[in-house]
Structure 1
Amino acid sequence: MVSNEELICKEFARIIGGQEGFAGGKCVATINRYELPVIILGKPFKVTSSFSFESRDKQTKKALCLGRVALLQNEVEKFVASITKQGIIVSSVHNEWLFDNPNLIYVNIEAVEDPLAFARKIRKALN
């Protein structure tokens, strides 16, 4: 039998446009960026962004919502502006690889809110 949390996870992933995974009370939606032909140390690299929620309160329906978004440098400013305007915290902006081409920038985000509201904000910022 599918739990209510798993159903919410499926909807969370659907809104974001990602692949859903649910285990141990944590929901993760992953988006693959197949359109980005990234190379690291001469090898192809599959670029993904991931979004999650966990610790959902049964009464308020709010959860810890997190994201790790892989962007090209020219995408960062617009994404950060959109996400902060919607009340989501940007906790870090950084690169992870020294020899990637093109250069990827990762933006980590966080909020405590309804996961489906968070997902809608993510979708808006990614569009």
Structure 2
Amino acid sequence: MDEFKVCSVEIERNLNVTIQGRPSRGELHAEISFESLDYEGNALNLGETVILEEEIPAFINILVKNGIIISALHNHWLYTEPKILYIHFQSVEPPLNFARKVAEAFKILR
């Protein structure tokens, strides 16, 4: 059996969020992972980030323009202020290509 490897990167989002009126920092991050390369240099690339409601349209537009699949957009928590959601995205391509495309979208996040 081939060895299976995953590389992941976590980026903290500097947001002031409350959940049920209590300050929260534990779930305010973005995570990108790159799985094992195939013989052509492609990997399964996965991403998830917490996103403010007003950031969604621009973020999605950049990902879609760059050929990244949006696999989910949903909440994790109720009673958040400001309203936060989580977006999941993916592709199969060289990891550096994915990273560059996602970095472009991250530039619009505050």
1:71 maps onto 2:51 in alignment? yes
Matches within 5 A, 1:18-29: 25-29=5-9
- Aligned twin of 1:39: 18
The number of residue pairs the alignment matches comes to 102
The structure with the largest helix share of the pair is 1
Q: Which is worse superposed, 44-53 or 82-91?
A: 44-53
Whole-angstrom CA distance in 1 between matches of 2:23 and 2:5: 33
AA matched with 1:39: T
- Aligned twin of 1:117: 97
Whole-angstrom CA distance in 1 between matches of 2:71 and 2:98: 15
- What's the CA shift for 1:91? 0.5
Q: Of 51, 54, 69, which residue of structure 1 is paired with 2:32?
A: 51
AA matched with 2:33: S
Q: Which runs of 4+ in 1 moved over 3 A?
A: none
- What's the CA shift for 1:55? 2.5
Whole-angstrom CA distance in 1 between matches of 2:5 and 2:21: 38
Whole-angstrom CA distance in 1 between matches of 2:21 and 2:7: 33
- What's the CA shift for 1:50? 0.6
User: Any idea what SS the aligned residue of 2:78 has?
Assistant: coil
Q: Percent of pairs identical after alignment?
A: 39
Q: Please, what TM-score do these two structures have when normalized by structure 2?
A: 0.87
Whole-angstrom CA distance in 2 between matches of 1:25 and 1:41: 38
Specify which structure has the bigger relative contact order, considering alpha-carbon pairs within 8 angstroms and separated by 6 or more residues.
Answer: 2
User: Any idea what SS the aligned residue of 1:81 has?
Assistant: helix
Whole-angstrom CA distance in 2 between matches of 1:45 and 1:26: 28
Whole-angstrom CA distance in 2 between matches of 1:54 and 1:124: 21
Q: Please, what TM-score do these two structures have when normalized by structure 1?
A: 0.76
Whole-angstrom CA distance in 2 between matches of 1:54 and 1:28: 9
AA matched with 1:32: E
